[in-house]
């Protein structure tokens, strides 16, 4: 385990949130579906990621979460100083006050906002608290953009050897491996 369990869960949730935005890269920028446009899509995401606390169930809440998604993507793709500054700004805006909590099926873990705080703020602070561990541990290189040529999805590399290169939004890794296999096979077939 690279990070504590709750830090890994928060990082994976941040990746999943960021990757709800279009991740296919076209000539004129990112394209593809945005899977976080409606209240029902946000409801499904919250259920999948097991976020707790108060909810508005409104388009304003969806918009706030989408803004947080953009902010988190900027942190994921920043250098260390930039990421630290953005994380500090996010925590300061939320008046974050870390506390150990235990609820539902979760054992002791950190919350830094009240359960009644706005959803986007809770999501951002949870990610920011996890990113604090990433930055302090000098592990920012574990935050990556998918290595597939037409994909801009983000990746958190939790592998021991830091070898993860592809996202989980599609079949980027499989497509890359198949293409490499075909290139190898084609070059060996051309040999006399």
Q: 148-177, pLDDT tens digit by residue?
A: 888 899 999 999 998 999 988 778 887 777
Q: Are 178 and 192 in contact (CB under 8 A)?
A: no
Q: Are 136 and 76 in contact (CB under 8 A)?
A: no
Q: Are 146 and 166 in contact (CB under 8 A)?
A: yes
pLDDT at 139: 94
Evaluate if residue 190 carries a pLDDT over 70.
no
Mean of the pLDDT values across residues 31-57?
93
The number of CA neighbours under 13 Å toward the Cβ of 113 is 25
Query: In sequence order, which residues have a C-beta less than 8 Å from that of residue 8 and are 6 or more positions away?
Result: 1, 2, 130, 158
Which residues are 100's β-sheet partners? 110
CA distances, 113 to each of 8, 124, 150, 174, 187 (Å): 19, 10, 37, 39, 57
139 vs 186, residue with greater confidence: 139
Could you tell me the pLDDT band of residue 192, with boundaries at 50, 70 and 90? low
Could you tell me the pLDDT band of residue 75, with boundaries at 50, 70 and 90? very high
pLDDT at 69: 97
> Percent of the chain at pLDDT above 70?
94
Evaluate if residue 33 carries a pLDDT over 70.
yes
Q: CA geometry: angle at 177 spanning 171 and 183, to 5°?
A: 135
Mean of the pLDDT values across residues 105-111?
84
Q: What is the CA radius of gyration of the chain?
A: 19
């Amino acid at each position: 385990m690279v990070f504590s369990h709750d830090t890994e869960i928060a990082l994976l949730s941040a990746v999943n949130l960021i990757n709800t935005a279009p991740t296919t890269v076209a000539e004129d920028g990112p394209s593809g579906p945005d899977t976080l446009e409606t209240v029902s899509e946000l409801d499904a995401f919250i259920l999948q990621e097991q976020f707790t606390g108060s909810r508005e169930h409104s388009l304003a809440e969806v918009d706030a979460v989408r803004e947080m998604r953009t902010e988190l993507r900027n942190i994921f793709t920043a250098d260390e100083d930039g990421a630290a500054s953005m994380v500090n700004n996010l925590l300061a805006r939320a008046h974050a006050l870390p506390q150990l909590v235990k609820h539902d099926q979760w054992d002791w873990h950190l919350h830094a906002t009240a359960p009644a705080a706005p959803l986007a703020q809770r999501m951002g602070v949870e990610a920011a608290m996890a990113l604090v561990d990433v930055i302090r541990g000098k592990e920012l290189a574990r935050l990556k953009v998918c290595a597939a040529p037409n994909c801009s999805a983000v990746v958190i590399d939790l592998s021991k050897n830091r070898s993860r290169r592809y996202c989980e939004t599609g079949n980027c890794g499989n497509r890359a491996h198949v293409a490499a296999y075909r290139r190898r096979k084609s070059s060996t077939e051309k040999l006399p």
